Chain A
Amino acid sequence: MRPEVMLRVLVLGLALLAGHVQASSIDVYEFATREQEARFHALNAELRCPKCLNTNLWGSDAPIARDLRRTVANMVREGHSDQEIRDYLVSRYGDFILYKPRFTAKTAALWVGPFVLLFLGLAIIAVMIRNQRREARLGMDDLTPDDEARLARLRHQLQADASGVSPRS
Chain B
Amino acid sequence: MSEHSAVPAKHGIHRASLFIPLGVFLLVLLLLWRGFSLGDPHALPSALLNQPLPEFALPVLHEPDRIVSSEAMHGEPFLLNVWATWCPTCRAEHAELARIARDYGVPIFGINYKDNPAEARRWLARFGDPYVFSVVDADGSLGIDLGVYGAPETFLVDADGVIRYKRVGAVDQRVWDTKLAPILAELRDAS
Contacts and interface: CB of A to CB of B under 8 A. Distances in A.
Contacts of A85: none
Tell me if B's interface is mostly helix, strand, loop or mixed. loop
Contact of A92 (B114, B144, B150): B144
Contacts of B46: 94
Interface stretch (B37-45, B60-68, B104-112, B176-184): B37-45
Nearest to A64: B149
B172 interface: no
Interface string A89-129: 01111101000000000000000000000000000000000
A63 B138 CA distance: 13
Q: How large is the interface on B (under 10, 10 to 19, 20 to 34, 35 or more residues)?
A: 20 to 34
Given A63-B114, A150-B3, A68 B44 contact: no
A68 B144 contact: yes
Interface string A23-51: 00000000000000000000000000011
A92 B145 contact: yes
* Size bracket of the A interface: 10 to 19
A153 interface: yes
A153 B51 CA distance: 80
A63 B84 CA distance: 13
A53 B47 contact: no
Interface string A47-75: 00011010000000001100110010000
A94 B148 CA distance: 11
Given A94-B44, A94-B45, A64 B147 contact: no
A93 B143 contact: no
User: At the interface, is chain A mostly helix, strand, loop or mixed?
Assistant: helix
A71 B146 CA distance: 13
Contacts of B162: none
B150 A64 contact: yes
B98 interface: no
A96 B150 contact: no
Contacts of B42: 51, 53
Contacts of B44: 50, 93-94, 96
Given A50-B149, A51-B149, A67 B47 contact: no
Nearest to A149: B3
A38 B127 CA distance: 48
Contact of B146 (A90, A92, A153): A92
Nearest to B140: A67
Nearest to A153: B3
B95 interface: no
B101 interface: no
A92 B47 contact: yes
B47 A93 contact: yes
Contacts of B45: 94
Nearest to B46: A94
B48 interface: yes
9 contacts: A51-B150, A63-B114, A64-B150, A67-B144, A92-B144, A93-B44, A93-B147, A94-B45, A94-B47
Interface of A: 50-51, 53, 63-64, 67-68, 71, 90-94, 96, 150, 153
Given A68-B144, A91-B47, 17 more contacts: A51-B149, A51-B150, A64-B149, A64-B150, A67-B139, A67-B140, A71-B141, A71-B144, A90-B47, A91-B48, A91-B51, A92-B144, A93-B44, A93-B47, A94-B44, A94-B46, A150-B3
